[in-house]
A and B are shown apart, each in its own frame.
Chain A
C-alpha cells in the first residue's frame, strides 16, 4: 500500500460549504470519498489518492494514457459539478495533488486573499461555451478543371483555367476573411452579455472528428439567472451571422474564470 496524497478539486467559501451533507456519496477520482479541508475561511474539496498511481512519476506516465486521463477528467469534473450546484467554487486544475491535509491547509492560507477575491467574482455565475465554425452552406465555387481540359488547345485554355483557379482562391480567401471577421464580431457581441469572456485555442479537427475549421472557442461568465437571455443573445448572433454555425455548451462550473488573470 503506497502513501496517500490529497487530490484537490475546488476551493469554496467556508461559510457556503459549512453544511456539506451533499458531499456524502459523491465519488471522487479513483472512487475516493470527497471531503472538506477547512482553513483561512475557505474550504478545499479533496479526496485521498494512492501516490503509487497519483504521485509525480505515475502522473506523468498516466496522463499520457487516454483511458486513464478520460476517467480521471470525468471524475474530477463530476465532483466539481455536483459541488457547484450547492456552493460557488473555484475549480482547481486537474492533477493537483498534495502530500497531506497540512499542505492543503497551507495553500489555503497562503492564497487566501486571491481565492477570496476570485470567489467573489464567480459567485452565482456559471460558464457557457460558445464555439463557431464556418457554416457548411457557404459554398465557394468548386474547381472545375475537368470541364476545361481537352477542349481547345494552346495557352488560351490554360490561361482561362489559371484565371478561374485564381478567382476561386480569391473567393475562398474572401469567404475565410468573412467568417473570421464574423467570429471575432460574435465574440465581442456576446462579451457584452457576460461578466467575463475568455478565448480557448481552437480545438484540433482530428480530436473533434470534423473537418470544418473552428473559428471561435470562447467561454463566457454569465449570471446563473441570465442563462436564458444569454442563450437568446447567442441565437440572435447566429441569425446575424449566417456565415457561421454556433454551438452553445454548458452551463459549466466557472473553470475558465477561476484564475486571477481571467478578468
Chain B
C-alpha cells in the first residue's frame, strides 16, 4: 500500500502489500452501508459469507497470477 502523501516517515514502517483477505475484511464487512434506491440490498445478502464461499471454492484454482501484484498467500491450500 502506498504511504500517505507528505509523510515520508511512513515508509519506514512495516507497511506491507495489502493481502486480499485484509482487503475483504474491510470492503465487505466495513464501510458505510447506504440504502435507498439501490439495486442490491446489502441487508439481503451476507457479503462476507458469500465471499468466503467464493474464496474457499476457488482456493484450488488459484494461481499466483492475480492483478496488481496483490496476491493471496502462495501456500493457500485446503488442509
- Report which A residues bind B (CB closer than 8 A): 5, 8, 11, 51, 54-56, 59-60, 63-67, 69-71, 73-74, 76-78, 81, 85-86, 90-99, 103, 106-107, 110-111, 115, 118, 126-127, 129, 198, 200, 203-204, 206-211, 217, 219, 224-225, 227-228, 231, 247-252, 255-256, 258-259
Which of B21, B54, B58 sits near A63, CB closer than 8 Å? B54
Could you give, for residues 30-63 of chain B, a 1 whenever the CB lies within 8 Å of some chain A CB and a 0 otherwise? 1111101111111001010011111111110110
Q: Which residues of the other chain, A, contact B59 by a CB distance below 8 angstroms? A: 206
- Shortest Cβ distance from residue A236 to the other chain B in the assembled complex, whole angstroms: 14
The answer to whether B52 touches A204, judged by C-beta atoms less than 8 angstroms apart, is: yes
The answer to whether B27 touches A97, judged by C-beta atoms less than 8 angstroms apart, is: no
- Report which B residues bind A (CB closer than 8 A): 1-5, 7, 9-10, 12-16, 18-34, 36-42, 45, 47, 50-59, 61-62, 66-68, 70, 72-79
* Interface-centre pick from B16, B36, B59 (highest chain A CB count, 10 A): B36
**Which 10 A-B residue pairings sit nearest by Cβ, starting from the closest?**
A209-B73, A66-B58, A255-B26, A93-B31, A103-B37, A209-B75, A209-B76, A255-B30, A94-B27, A56-B40
A-B pairs with beta carbons under 8 Å apart, 13 shown: A64-B54, A66-B57, A73-B27, A76-B27, A91-B30, A92-B32, A94-B47, A95-B42, A129-B25, A198-B30, A200-B30, A251-B4, A252-B1
The answer to whether B53 touches A64, judged by C-beta atoms less than 8 angstroms apart, is: yes
The answer to whether A259 touches B39, judged by C-beta atoms less than 8 angstroms apart, is: no
Q: How far is the CA of A59 from the CA of B51 in the complex (A)?
A: 12
Q: Other than the known A206-B76, A259-B33, what 7 A-B pairs have Cβ atoms closer than 8 Å? A: A63-B54, A91-B26, A91-B32, A96-B33, A208-B21, A210-B73, A228-B10
With CB as the reference atom, state the residue of chain A lying closest to B53: A64
